[in-house]
């Protein structure tokens, strides 16, 4: 399984990277960062992305065979560029590269949900619509699902 990962230089992303590298079913991890990331494993390749809003076709060709994207880029303050505009731009550029019938590509975005203090904080999207991350509805629109 080939996994794409953004935010690998961050607190959450660096832990996800370690976990991915330890799992035998994940055969390859491509980290997409704005600054070069030192290599930690032969299983891991780093690609520096100059502009997360404009994904060039050469880069898309290199990552089109990936099985999943883990989007751990973002700020806890919910900065619109890394939390919303960049992941949407990725999805819009990446979707047309997925031409094999039946192939499933999983997109997971880390998002800190805001809940009442009595409720546990969550790192992953839950069932509630407001927990699906900043681009939950837009993602559905891009993918053409309800």
Between 21 and 98, CB nearer to ligand NAP: 21
Between 61 and 80, CB nearer to ligand NAP: 80
Between 52 and 94, CB nearer to ligand NAP: 52
Beta strands in the chain (DSSP E): 2-6, 28-33, 44-48, 68-71, 106-109
- Residue 95, Cβ neighbours under 10 Å: how many? 13
Tokens coding 30: 């491509």
Distance CA 8, CA 4 (A): 10
In angstroms, give the least distance from the CB of 100 to ligand NAP.
Answer: 29
Residue ranges that bind ligand NAP, judged by CB under 6 A: 7, 9-13, 34-35, 52, 72-76, 81-83, 110-112, 123
């Amino acid at each position: 399984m080939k996994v794409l990962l953004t935010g690998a230089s961050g607190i959450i992303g660096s832990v996800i990277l370690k976990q991915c590298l330890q799992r035998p079913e994940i055969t390859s991890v491509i980290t997409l960062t704005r600054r070069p990331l030192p290599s930690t494993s032969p299983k891991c390749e780093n690609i520096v992305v100059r502009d997360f809003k404009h994904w060039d076709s050469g880069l898309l060709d290199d990552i089109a065979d990936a099985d999943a994207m883990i989007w751990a880029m973002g700020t806890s303050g919910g900065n619109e560029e890394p939390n919303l505009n960049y992941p949407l731009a990725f999805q819009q550029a990446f979707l047309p590269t997925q031409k094999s019938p039946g192939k499933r590509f999983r997109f997971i975005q880390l998002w800190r949900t805001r809940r009442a203090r009595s409720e546990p904080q969550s790192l992953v999207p839950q069932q509630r619509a407001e927990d699906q991350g900043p681009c939950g509805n837009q993602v559905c629109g891009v993918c053409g699902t309800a």
